[in-house]
Amino acid sequence: MSDKVDMDKIVSLCKRRGLVFPSSEIYGGLASCWDYGPMGVELKRNVKDAWWKSIVHERDDVVGLDTSIMMHPGVWTASGHIDSFTDPLMDCKSCHLRWRADDVEGQRCPKCDGELTEPRMFNLMFKTFMGPVEEEASTIYLRPETAQGIFVNFDSVITTSRKKLPLGIAQIGKSFRNEITTGNFIFRTREFEHMELEYFVKPGTDEEWLDYWVKERFDWYVKLGIRKENLRLRQHGKDELAHYARDCYDIEYLFPMGWSELEGIANRGDFDLTQHAKHSGKDLNYYDSEADEKYVPYVIEPSAGVDRSVLAFLIDAYDEEEVEGEKRTVLHLHPSLAPINVAVLPLSRNQKLTPLAKEVYKQLCPSFVTDYDDSQSIGRRYRRQDEIGTPFCVTIDFESLEDKQVTIRERDSQGQIRVPVGELKKVIEAKFKGEAFDASPLWAARQR
């Protein structure tokens, strides 16, 4: 993490540039709920797409799934969430604030020093009622994780996908947790998105696969631009393991508030399938035709938060530099994550420039997420694009009308190259594929 970044700067940049807004802001906001603005929704989609690509599309041993948020309440009895998905809570007898017992030291309220009650267990699942009658029998829960949707569909997926173990089933979707202590912006909220993979393996091979997935997931963040020194692995102590876990590693990121969990990778053993088999009465054994034996698979689960990943990518990308005596704020986001790929910026709103600028925009639009901006000075527009991490800006000036060439400016180096309009798409494609910015553009190489 750069020493120039803190959470306030990130929150303020997100608001200023349309990445993330406080939810229901015109009503005064709703605690710990956030809305993704026009730039934020692109960034978030890119994070999810990058995960899906690496976990599902680039592998032949993982398939995707999209299950409903509301599930049969029996699921949560079987999974242990009704009994065990709880936090110990203490109430302040004076100011009535509630605290997570593991967040306070001793028996005094951190806010007013009042006396705290003994800890009581508080279930983190949101309850609601299905149908018109609000009675116990119609109580259902909003899912606190997407994983259970995968476990209850395990048999259907195995029988329809014609795949053999090891097999992963991946899902991205909303989860809900009535967290006691939220905060740190989108780090911990009550509604968030999970990216979860349940990777089913033969018992006995689970430890190997756990190591494999810990490495894969760590490398994914590094590949997408997070600096290695801001990431670390932490193995859970035996006393810390969740009720379902045989082993677990957290990938931690150095957030402004200190090292905190970014993703958990757990060996869930056969806990979930065994529980669902017991509670549903359905046989969830897997028939291994090669070994000619039946067994309940073990599960390795990399479970990441979309919002928390977005936050880590933003923090790691954030930088402030001095350029010609002025402060430049820039997000060095990986090009595949940047909300806008290319910005088309005519030097001014002069009518002579508009037709060519629009032509350039139309040329790029089908291939790249392209922004067209002709308001304010070019310097301010570059600043805006730098702040949302746009890797390339294309500028159309009066010379362009003569020589049909435009300027590409690169975000990080602020270097510029001049490229014929007809070759623009190819050149930008090459730059996105990793060709060095100052290398001869393709058209120049071909002309020689």
Q: Does 40 bind ligand ATP (CB under 6 A)?
A: no
Residue 12's identity, in one-letter code, is: S
Q: Smaller CB distance to ligand ATP: residue 179 or 373?
A: 179
Residue 143 vs 188, nearer CB to ligand ATP: 188
CA distance 216 to 59: 12
Output the smallest distance, CB 186 to ligand ATP, in A.
7
- Choose between 307 and 387: whose C-beta lies nearer to ligand ATP: 307
Q: Of residues 44, 81, 143, 177, which one binds ligand ATP by CB under 6 A? A: 177
Q: Select the residue interacting with ligand ATP from 67, 189, 267, 341 (CB under 6 A).
A: 189
Of residues 234-253, those binding ligand ATP (CB under 6 A): none
Give how far Cα 318 sits from Cα of 228, 287, 329, Å.
Answer: 16, 50, 7
Under 8 Å between Cβ of 180 and 217: no
Beta strand spans in 332-368 (E): 342-346
Instruction: Report the residue number whose CB is nearest to ligand ATP.
Output: 305
**Residue 5 corresponds to which tokens in the numbers above?**
């970044």
What is the smallest separation between the CB atom of 400 and ligand ATP, expressed in angstroms? Answer: 46
**CA nearest to 157, candidates 197, 212, 195:** 197
List the one residue out of 346, 448, 443, 339 whose CA is nearest residue 399.
346
Residue type (1 letter), 11: V
CB of 66 within 8 A of CB of 173?
Answer: yes
Name the residue nearer to ligand ATP (CB basis): 310 or 360: 310
Minimal distance, residue 41 CB to ligand ATP, in Å: 17
Rounded to 10 degrees, the C-alpha dihedral 435/411/216/306 comes to -140
CB of 333 to ligand ATP, least distance (A): 19
Residue 260, exposed/middle/buried by CB under 10 A (0-12, 13-18, 19+)?
A: middle
By the 8 A CB rule, do 332 and 390 touch?
Answer: no
Residues 353-392 contacting ligand ATP, CB under 6 A = none
Binding mask 308-327 for ligand ATP (x = CB under 6 A): x-------------------
Nearest in space to 394 (alpha carbons), one of 423, 434, 366, 352: 423
Residue 276 CB, nearest distance to ligand ATP (Å)? 18
DSSP 290-320: TTTEEEPPEEEEEEEEHHHHHHHHHHHHEEE
* Binding-site member from 166, 173, 297, 305 for ligand ATP (CB under 6 A): 305
Nearer residue to ligand ATP within complex by CB, 267 or 303: 303
What is the nearest approach in angstroms of ligand ATP to the Cβ of residue 237?
Answer: 14
Q: Pick the binder of ligand ATP from 6, 179, 211, 319 (CB under 6 A).
A: 179
Q: Specify the stretch interacting with ligand ATP by CB under 6 A; choose among 38-46, 189-197, 288-296, 351-359.
A: 189-197
Build a one-symbol-per-residue string for 263-302: x at contacts with ligand ATP by CB under 6 A, - elsewhere. Answer: xx--------------------------------------
**Residue choice 46, 146, 303, 370 for contact with ligand ATP (CB under 6 A):** 303
**Exactly one of 194, 217, 384, 409 binds ligand ATP (CB under 6 A); which one?**
194
Among 44, 188, 276, 409, binds ligand ATP (CB under 6 A): 188
Tokens of 432: 């996105």
Give the rounded distance of the alpha carbon of 174 from its chain centre.
12
* In the block, residue with structure tokens 């014929």: 420
Q: In angstroms, what is the minimal distance from the CB of 185 to ligand ATP?
A: 10
Partnered with residue 197 across adjacent β-strands are 170
CA separation for the pair 318, 339 (Å, rounded): 14
Nearest to ligand ATP of 304, 340 (CB atom)? 304
Number of residues that bind ligand ATP (CB under 6 A): 15
Among residue numbers 1 through 20, which ones bind ligand ATP (CB under 6 A)?
none
Q: Which stretch binds ligand ATP (CB under 6 A): 95-103, 305-313, 330-338, 416-424?
A: 305-313
The span from the CA of 90 to the CA of 223, in Å, is 42
Alpha carbon distances (Å) from 103 to 119, 181, 203, 252: 12, 9, 37, 19
C-beta of residue 304 within 8 angstroms of C-beta of residue 311? no
In terms of CB distance, is 101 or 444 closer to ligand ATP?
Answer: 101
The token pair that represents 386 in the structure block: 């730098």
Choose between 177 and 381: whose C-beta lies nearer to ligand ATP.
177
Phi, psi of 269 (to 5 degrees): 55, -145
Contact residues toward ligand ATP (CB under 6 A) are: 177, 179, 188-189, 192, 194, 261-264, 303-305, 307-308
